[in-house]
Amino acid sequence: MDMNAYLGGFAEALSKYPVRVMNTVPANSNQDTLGVIYERGFIGTYQDWCEAFPTYPRTYDLIHAGGVFSIYQDRWIGFLGRKERYTVEILVKIKAITDGMRWKSQIMDHESGSFNPEKILLAVKTYGTGEIKKKES
């Protein structure tokens, strides 16, 4: 899923692989690019990310969320993103959510160095199962 598809570049980058990408254009985005996505032959939809998405979120193996937090930074965020660069204050709030969901997440320095105020949040959804209880004989 590409949470901020713009022109469908993420789908294009993955087009040589046997995968499908759901392109979503944020409903309150400054650019309405869903028509362009359709013209390129991709699937897509509009979505207000402060509302629930109508499919089960674990259906998606990879979520690309480039630039989505900037659109919703003043509103409640009901989603999690991957490889986003934002200020530490926003990322600490998001990391608290990912930690609560038992995702493995860490805040890393920007590629231009540790003095850059922007940081990168890397979050990995772990596969969770219940604990196996051993039968006592």
What is the tens place of the pLDDT at every residue in 62-103? 676 667 766 666 654 444 444 445 678 888 888 888 888 778
| DSSP reduced 3-state for 93 | helix
How many structural domains comprise the chain?
A: 2
73 and 34 together in one domain: yes
> Which residue did the predictor score with more confidence, 5 or 86?
5
Q: What is the pTM of this model?
A: 0.50
Distance, CA of 80 to CA of 51 (rounded, Å): 13
Looking at residues 29-41, what average pLDDT do you find?
Answer: 90
Q: Which range of residues forms the domain containing residue 49?
A: 1-78
Tell me whether residue 1 is in a domain: yes
Sheet with 104-109, side-by-side order of all strands:
84-87, 118-124, 104-109
Tell me whether residue 134 is in a domain: no
Mean of the per-residue pLDDT values of the chain? 77
Of 8, 40, 41, whose CA–CA distance to 24 is shortest?
8
Quick one: pLDDT at residue 130? 59
Q: Are 35 and 98 in contact (CB under 8 A)?
A: no
15 and 63 together in one domain: yes
Quick one: pLDDT at residue 82? 43
Residue 54 reports pLDDT greater than 80: no
Quick one: pLDDT at residue 57? 55
